[in-house]
């Protein structure tokens, strides 16, 4: 025989694929059955703050983590930005706006009531005779 490439006839180990059983790259997985190809993972959130973490993964639930500077995936499973993660405490941006608008509205109502009372006290009484 001549020198050439050796191809395994046995199935590839999990996380590997192809005729030479190469490791599946980060963001892909291989079942190891036959000599198929690696499949793309699709379980991380669709946000730029989430990235796949390991290569040669054996199933479709590929591990991912949040980029540095964003709360970790244990607390923030959707890898939301810091702003969106903080807004989640108030129920999202709408909840934050309502929470912010409520005390401002109450403040202006109190000022209006106070102003009306002060006007009522300083207004001269109509229809009464006043003596000096």
Could you report the per-residue pLDDT of 35-59, keeping only the tens digit for each? 678 999 999 999 999 999 999 999 9
Mean pLDDT of the region 61-79: 96
- pLDDT mean over 111-127: 78
pTM: 0.64
Q: How far is Cα 99 from Cα 23, in angstroms, rounded to an integer?
A: 51
Which residues are within 8 A (CB) of 43 and not within 5 positions of it... i.e. 6 or more apart? 60, 61, 62, 64
């Amino acid at each position: 025989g001549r020198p050439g490439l050796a191809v395994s006839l046995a199935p590839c180990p999990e996380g590997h694929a192809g005729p030479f059983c190469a490791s599946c790259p980060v963001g892909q997985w291989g079942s190891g059955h036959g000599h198929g190809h690696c499949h793309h993972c699709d379980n991380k959130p669709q946000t730029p703050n989430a990235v796949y973490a390991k290569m040669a993964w054996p199933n479709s639930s590929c591990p991912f983590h949040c980029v540095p500077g964003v709360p970790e995936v244990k607390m923030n499973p959707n890898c939301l930005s810091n702003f969106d993660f903080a807004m989640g405490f108030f129920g999202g941006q709408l909840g934050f706006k309502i929470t912010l608008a409520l005390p401002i509205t109450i403040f202006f109502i109190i000022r209006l009531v106070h102003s009306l009372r002060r006007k009522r006290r300083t207004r001269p009484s109509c229809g009464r005779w006043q003596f000096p």
